Structure 1
Amino acid sequence: MVQVLSTLLHVEKGSKQPVYLQIANQLMALIRNGTLQTGYRLLSTRQLATLLKVHRRTVVQAYDELLAQGWLESHTGNGTFVAKHLPEIQSAKKDMHAEKAIMPASKAGFHFKQAPHLDRAVLRNSTRLHLDDGFPDPRLAPLDDLSRAYRSQLLGANPYARLGYGDTKGASWLREELSAYLNETRGMKTSPGNILIVRGVIMGLYLVSTALLEPGDNVVVSAPGWFGANMNFTQAGANVLRLPADEHGIDVAALEQMCQKQKIRLVYVTSHHHYPTTVALRADRRLNLLKLAEQYGFIVFEDDYDCDFHYLSKPLMPLAGADPAGMVMYCGSFTKTISPAFRIGYLVGPADVISYLAKLRRIIDRQGDQMLENAIAELLHTGVIQRHLRKSVRIYKQRRDLFCDLLRSQLGDHVTFQVPDGGMAVWTQFDPNINLVRLAQKALQKDLYMSSGTSGIPAGNAYDEPPGSAIRLGFASSNAQELEESVEIIRNLLGNL
């Protein structure tokens, strides 16, 4: 056995892992695979130290570690043995090819089913230039004010309360400030009890889908629409039904015909700026949608992802502000206000539903970031966010105008579009003969990110929508020079495709 151990035990004195742990882990592995059977008497600490050319105290530490974990047992005056209470493991010669095929760190030994609707590429934008999905410019964010507010939360009085567990609905101060803010800017009639703080619209969708949908329920979305919402509905086992969206938003007349034929549980809308086309839901359709919700008893999930960014006049008021029957669940976030890195969103609805959703939230995410939530509350209270929004709207409008001028003058032969009234992207229709996937790949080689017209889901996936010739080109996150350079790259690429 001495000869066997000399070939099986190795130490790397330059490793970050202490030598005694290396020895202990290797001995443990030998016991696990049956090389060292229960009751086997180990070498003395002096013998093993000599064999491995380490200090005896190192081996003593290794044995002590295994004794403490129950792998070994010591008999005073008789030596150290593999613990007898361990199950006997038959040591067998392993097929080397089979052994190489087993990689527990990368492949599970048990079977699990992978849902195809979750198979979607994760966006990690690292290019210098980007015409993205419509993201804010973090360079404009009030980071100094946010940093000071966050620091004051960390160092404020009563650390036990501030740094401990909080309300699963979210920080009470933020819900109070949000209630006042939404009532003032959205024409809503909320109290803090109507608000649940979430980590973004996607979390709000997950909670509503999980708690309020049953397998087989019918959920209506627009086509084209947002796959992130469809993923949640599919995950909940719902049937996703698509209705067309035109220049006035989702077709509410077609929705009424659908309701007459089958039971609808939920309708998902982006009423202020339809995703992805950016058009607003027309006033008559808004009224009819609320009437249908009350008549047929379906939930309206209103995703108001960029309500604050409207350039022609005051933004249209949310459906939630005109809901007479408590049918609307309203969701927004500070992702577009500040930056996607700050995961603070809000779900607004009837108090009884909010309380129920808070119970569900507790089992997947005990609470949010109370420090960040209170810091955002302070920025709302002091008016920092309101001032930031006024400044951002002015800058983003200038960028929209410049970008649309560039599209007309530089790409007019290849694209058509409508100047959006709000939002952070232009819904751009390319010539159908242009291969958008290839264009996006070529742009990436020039350090420019743009959409390829697909959702990032493998081709042929039944949950995906067929790719079209229109994409969102985001302008808000780029300054004037970056927009000019980006459009120039696209123009040059189109000339060579």
Structure 2
Amino acid sequence: MQALASLIHLDKPAKQALYLQIATQISELIRTGILLPAQRLPSSRQLAELLHLNRRTVVLAYDELLAQGWLQSKTGNGTFVASHIPRFQPDAGDKIGTGKSQNINAGFAFKTPDFLNRPVLRIHSPYHLDDGFPDVRIAPLEELSRAYRTQLMTGNIYEKLGYGDTRGSHWLRHELSDYLNQTRGLHTTLDNILIVRGTMMGLHLASTALIEPGNYVAVGESGWSGATINFQQAGAHFLKIPVDSYGIDVDELEKQCQQHTIRMVYITSHHHYPTTVALRADRRVKLLQLAGQYGFIIFEDDYDYDFHYQSKPLLPLAGADRAGMVLYCGSFTKTISPAFRVGYLVGPADVITCFSKLRRMIDRQGDTILENAIAELLQNGIIQRHLRKSLRTYRQRRDLFCSLLKDKLDDYLEFEVPDGGMAVWTRFDKNIDLVKVASQALRKGLYFADGSLFDIPGTSQAATRLGFASSNPDELEHSVAILEQLIKFKS
């Protein structure tokens, strides 16, 4: 009895009830062969005295173990380890009663591919020149909150709060179809639209459904790692296509088509990621021609279409696609906030149906209430008004930020004022250790990416994206002042 009591270690301040602690540890002693089948246990009164507990606590523990089948009770004779329990061989590596070893290391083998080891970005610093995020302080949060509450509290609650269409809210797909047709020159119905959590989900669905191991996928060099990891997971081979000031080099792409059977081309045609350059009109025409000629799919990631400052945004490739070769993907991440995971994948209806079936395997449906709330904002023109307001705001911030970089750090970096987007592709002097500067800046309260993710293998570009949209004028001035202090006065 004393031996059993000595093996039970209780943590009274813990949130888990004491009787569950006792039950868990006794079952672990049985599992590891310390307590044997048909072995008699102390009475509840005896064990309670040894553990300095109320008898009721031990009774509850025994009742739990009896219900689970670990113990059996013989009237008038006591409580025993169940005789039907197989005899376990003790494992010297087991940490009896701790319940911690299995929470750290799995007992089975598995592999984590190196390409999945990407840092999860969480910015807590007061100042940030990020990847090109929106300023959530100017987002229509009050209007969205009211719309969300309306959707949550009115109408057919059974229908709204139950299972819905795996393709997404019917209302949002209808509103998006009208919106995309009007603003982007697309030719869609709601059957051409799948609501997704964001571009990453769209890429995952497309790469899983359409790419087989060994297929070739062409991407710009450099590009977005979020896209490449999806293609790697699908087992694709990469063809890196150079990108210049006019976008991806379609002549080089044509040469690769003559040598390889390319399954998909991933492109950010409006503002190439990370350099922000737009794909020139003649290259757009040729890219569509090559898709028709060689039969490859174009995945067009239009992550910040609405923010173009020089003129009207360039219409997507999808609007000029007459052969059904383009999949078009966007989201409300840059429009409202990264926290609201609502995006859209546009394509031929039969492909969208396929994707919706695949999506059901990993995510039965999205947030129907949020999707309907966004549909209401689209229908009422609130998102459209917000975009016009934020476009003016971000243009002013772009102009101020580029002016600050020019005035304060002209001798140490170079850039082109972007025609659109929410970040400036900035190339630093090769003598500047960008990784070190980014680390020093973070200690001073300024976050920016050190550029290592954008390096072409075997080279160091000393270049990074400096986002301006999420910072107000005072914050931009303070951020540049920190950069100036670290670069100008320490070089």
Give the aligned partner of residue 33 of structure 2: 34
How much does 1:28 deviate? 1.3
Indicate the SS of the match to 2:206: helix
Conserved? CA contact 1:38–1:82, under 8 Å: yes
Identity, in percent, stands at: 63
How much does 1:377 deviate? 0.5
Conserved? CA contact 2:22–2:61, under 8 Å: yes
CA distance 1:28–1:420, shift in 2 (3 Å): same
Give the aligned partner of residue 337 of structure 2: 339
Of the three residues 466, 480, 484, the one matched with 2:477 is: 484
How much does 1:154 deviate? 1.1
Give the aligned partner of residue 81 of structure 1: 80
Give the aligned partner of residue 45 of structure 1: 44
CA distance 1:123–1:14, shift in 2 (3 Å): closer
CA distance 1:243–1:456, shift in 2 (3 Å): closer
Of the three residues 266, 271, 276, the one matched with 1:273 is: 271
How much does 1:122 deviate? 1.1
* Distance of 1:364 and 1:464 partners within structure 2: 33
Give the aligned partner of residue 137 of structure 2: 139
Within 5 Å, which residues of 2 pair with 1:351-390?
351-390=349-388
Structure 1 gap ranges (5+): 458-462
Conserved? CA contact 2:272–2:278, under 8 Å: yes
Q: Does 1:121 align with 2:119?
A: yes
CA distance 1:345–1:5, shift in 2 (3 Å): same
How much does 1:44 deviate? 1.3
CA distance 1:456–1:41, shift in 2 (3 Å): farther
How much does 1:96 deviate? 9.1
CA-based RMSD of the aligned residues comes to 1.8
How much does 1:54 deviate? 1.7
Conserved? CA contact 2:213–2:234, under 8 Å: yes
Give the aligned partner of residue 252 of structure 1: 250
* Distance of 1:91 and 1:221 partners within structure 2: 54
CA distance 1:493–1:28, shift in 2 (3 Å): same
Of the three residues 392, 399, 415, the one matched with 1:394 is: 392
State the AA in 2 paired with 1:52. Answer: L
Quick check: 43-52 or 128-137, which moved more?
43-52
State the AA in 2 paired with 1:75. Answer: K
Quick check: 184-193 or 40-49, which moved more?
40-49
Give the aligned partner of residue 469 of structure 1: 462
Q: Does 1:153 align with 2:151?
A: yes
Indicate the SS of the match to 1:361: helix
Conserved? CA contact 1:48–1:59, under 8 Å: yes
State the AA in 1 paired with 2:242. Answer: P
Conserved? CA contact 1:120–1:455, under 8 Å: no
CA distance 1:190–1:87, shift in 2 (3 Å): same
Indicate the SS of the match to 1:20: helix
Within 5 Å, which residues of 2 pair with 1:129-208?
129-208=127-206
Quick check: 394-403 or 148-157, which moved more?
148-157
CA distance 1:38–1:294, shift in 2 (3 Å): same
CA distance 1:361–1:97, shift in 2 (3 Å): closer
Conserved? CA contact 2:28–2:96, under 8 Å: no
State the AA in 2 paired with 1:430. Answer: F
* Distance of 1:141 and 1:8 partners within structure 2: 58
Of the three residues 304, 307, 312, the one matched with 1:306 is: 304
* Distance of 2:360 and 2:106 partners within structure 1: 29
Quick check: 243-252 or 116-125, which moved more?
116-125
* Deviation sequence 1:174-221 (CA, Å, 0-9, x none): 000000000000011100000000011111011000000011111000
TM-score normalised according to structure 1 size: 0.95
Conserved? CA contact 2:25–2:97, under 8 Å: no
Within 5 Å, which residues of 2 pair with 1:285-324?
285-324=283-322
Quick check: 106-115 or 158-167, which moved more?
106-115
How much does 1:10 deviate? 3.5
Conserved? CA contact 2:9–2:97, under 8 Å: no
Conserved? CA contact 2:308–2:421, under 8 Å: yes
Q: Does 1:20 align with 2:14?
A: no
Conserved? CA contact 1:146–1:379, under 8 Å: yes
Indicate the SS of the match to 1:266: strand
Indicate the SS of the match to 1:265: strand
* Distance of 1:173 and 1:164 partners within structure 2: 16
Quick check: 170-179 or 10-19, which moved more?
10-19
Conserved? CA contact 1:169–1:197, under 8 Å: yes
CA distance 1:5–1:163, shift in 2 (3 Å): same
* Distance of 2:458 and 2:139 partners within structure 1: 34
Conserved? CA contact 1:224–1:465, under 8 Å: no
Give the aligned partner of residue 241 of structure 1: 239
Give the aligned partner of residue 449 of structure 1: 447
* Distance of 1:430 and 1:358 partners within structure 2: 44
Conserved? CA contact 2:134–2:469, under 8 Å: yes
Indicate the SS of the match to 1:105: helix
How much does 1:456 deviate? 9.0
State the AA in 1 paired with 2:128. Answer: H
CA distance 1:315–1:164, shift in 2 (3 Å): same
Indicate the SS of the match to 1:423: coil
How much does 1:6 deviate? 2.9
State the AA in 1 paired with 2:31. Answer: R
* Distance of 2:430 and 2:96 partners within structure 1: 51
CA distance 1:63–1:350, shift in 2 (3 Å): same
* Distance of 1:46 and 1:119 partners within structure 2: 54
State the AA in 2 paired with 1:24. Answer: A
How much does 1:14 deviate? 3.5
* Distance of 1:42 and 1:452 partners within structure 2: 62
* Distance of 2:272 and 2:19 partners within structure 1: 62
State the AA in 2 paired with 1:212. Answer: L
Give the aligned partner of residue 10 of structure 2: 11
Give the aligned partner of residue 460 of structure 1: none
State the AA in 2 paired with 1:470. Answer: A
How much does 1:267 deviate? 0.5
* Distance of 2:364 and 2:139 partners within structure 1: 28
* Deviation sequence 1:381-414 (CA, Å, 0-9, x none): 1111000000000000000000010010001011
State the AA in 1 paired with 2:354. Answer: Y
Conserved? CA contact 2:148–2:370, under 8 Å: yes
Give the aligned partner of residue 63 of structure 1: 62
* Deviation sequence 1:249-270 (CA, Å, 0-9, x none): 0001111111112111101111
Quick check: 107-116 or 474-483, which moved more?
107-116
* Distance of 1:331 and 1:16 partners within structure 2: 45
